[in-house]
Amino acid sequence: MITSNHQKVNALVLPNGSLEFLSLREIGWLSDKTLCGCYEQFRRCALAALNSGAETDDSRIVLNQYSDFKIEIVREPRGICLQVTNAPPRAFVDGEMIEGIREHLFSVLRDIVYTQYLIMDNNQFDFSRSEHITDAVFHILKNASTFQSNALTNLIVCWGGHSVNREEYEYSKDVGYMLGLRKLNICTGCGHGVMKGPMKGAALGHAKQRIAPGRYIGITEPGIIAAEAPNAMVNALVIMPDIEKRLEAFVRLGHGIIVFPGGVGTTEEILYLLSILLHPDNQQIKFPLVFSGPESSRDYFSDMDTFLRTTLGNDITNRYHIVIGDAAKASMLMSQGLKQVKAERQAQKDAFYFNWKLTIPQQLQIPFVPSHQSMANLQLSRKLPAFQLAANMRCAFSGIVAGNVKQEGIQAVQEHGPFELHGDPEILEQMQTLLNKFIQQRRMTLADNYKPSYRIVASNS
């Protein structure tokens, strides 16, 4: 049932892709209004899924434009459905909700409400313990049906920015096409830009190889989904509870990672992964990592390489390959790396679908909440082991992401001014140089006239 109200749409939507089959008990607690302590989070994420295709990365714009949007869980004799009121019209065509968006909508319900009560509020999980956090990540991914046969190592995580130029986007499609021809699947942060490009390219490669359907997994979290709404290629959407569990999901689920040009969010991801790979327990772990982009992004990766070598030491270059302007080579390196991953998993009798052997320090698992105090207190010192410094720098970039695009971060910066960062002068100088390049290249946000959400102020050494 579809009705229109000043171009916004009201509709009663049946499940698709998730939650079609529920027990009477599940129906009961999903439709019990007393359990909706996470309603506002659910509403925001549902609105983001319905608003897919909007060209903005400012969550406030979306929330203000659809401040009258409502979504309710309606109990049916054999299940549930969703009543949406004042929904974005772009989610519908000829009076019907687009099937991919309907799938995303019920993925939101599954991961926000269902996960909240079965995982986050379950006293069987002690989130102060590292192994329990990993177990929670496993169960959320399992509940979302992301695991494939235990005989395959073919899922490539692609990281990169949503604010990229056309040439970088087209190059990411070319790499995705080459990966698709090699029968590899794609996992990204689910947004647009080079989170969408590899999926589009892989879809063509899969079509030529008669692979149907390909796997195009998008992993996001509630704080970022409004700024990076799911793109239309995603056919398996997963919303993790926070950015740390999202990042862990990428490295546990994926078999290798390709990084395309991006901004502070991409730098956060790079530092997260390098912190793990630099950890003493992971020195022998096979995890292929390739940085790649078109010829026009050569300076971008040169700047990133300089930043990483200067802050973490020259040996860090042993952990990644840089490939410029050669999509075939980038995908070939990844394909070769996957053979090593498979051999290692076989030798260690580890699962192919989830990287249990990888040690992730608890520091990278406990949610970092960006605030003026937590950002100022970050230790950015050369006295720290490289993996700890990388983890702390990852938090700094995470805070800048929050100040750029997340509602809570934007509000904090508006009320109290930019976040302040302190640390060793050389580290701060390298961070400032890299961030200045991002501003010059318009990699911070999609909006014009970017105003920094951070201030690098002094040394605390």
Q: What is the pLDDT of residues 316-336, one digit of tens each?
A: 999 999 999 999 999 999 999
The pLDDT assigned to 102 comes to 94
Exposure string for 92-119, b = 16+ CB within 10 A, e = fewer: beeeebbebbbbbbbbbbbbbbbbbebb
Q: Where are the domains of the chain?
A: 2-122, 148-348, 363-458
Same fold, 2-122 and 148-348: no
- Residues 327, 197, 358, CA angle at the centre, nearest 5°? 75
Q: Is 264 in contact with 397 (CB distance < 8 Å)?
A: yes
pLDDT score of 97 more than 90: yes
Highest mean pLDDT among 48-57, 74-83, 371-380, 396-405: 371-380
pLDDT score of 425 more than 50: yes
CATH of domain 148-348: 3.40.50.450
pLDDT score of 34 more than 60: no
pLDDT score of 168 more than 60: yes
The pLDDT assigned to 224 comes to 84
Instruction: Work out the pLDDT band at 54, boundaries 50, 70, 90.
Output: low
Interhelix angle for 425-440 vs 298-312, to 10°?
170
The pLDDT assigned to 447 comes to 67
pLDDT score of 266 more than 90: yes
Work out the percent of the chain whose per-residue pLDDT is above 70: 93
Mean pLDDT of the chain: 90
> What is the distance between the alpha carbons of residues 331 and 182, in angstroms, rounded to a whole number?
8
Rounded to two decimals, the pTM is: 0.91
Of residues 122 and 156, more confidence is placed in 156
Q: What are the pLDDT digits (tens) for 372-412? A: 999 999 999 999 999 999 999 999 999 999 888 787 888 99
Q: What are the pLDDT digits (tens) for 214-240? A: 999 999 998 888 778 899 999 999 999
Instruction: Work out the pLDDT band at 150, boundaries 50, 70, 90.
Output: confident
| CA 3 to chain CA centroid, nearest Å | 34
pLDDT score of 277 more than 80: yes
Which two three-digit tokens encode residue 320? 């990644």
CATH of domain 2-122: 3.30.1850.10
Instruction: Work out the pLDDT band at 4, boundaries 50, 70, 90.
Output: very low
pLDDT score of 245 more than 90: yes
The pLDDT assigned to 226 comes to 74
Integer Rg of the chain from CA: 21
pLDDT score of 36 more than 90: no
pLDDT score of 2 more than 60: no
Q: What are the pLDDT digits (tens) for 349-370? A: 889 999 999 999 999 999 999 9
pLDDT score of 249 more than 50: yes
Among 39-43, 312-316, 364-368, where is mean pLDDT lowest? 39-43
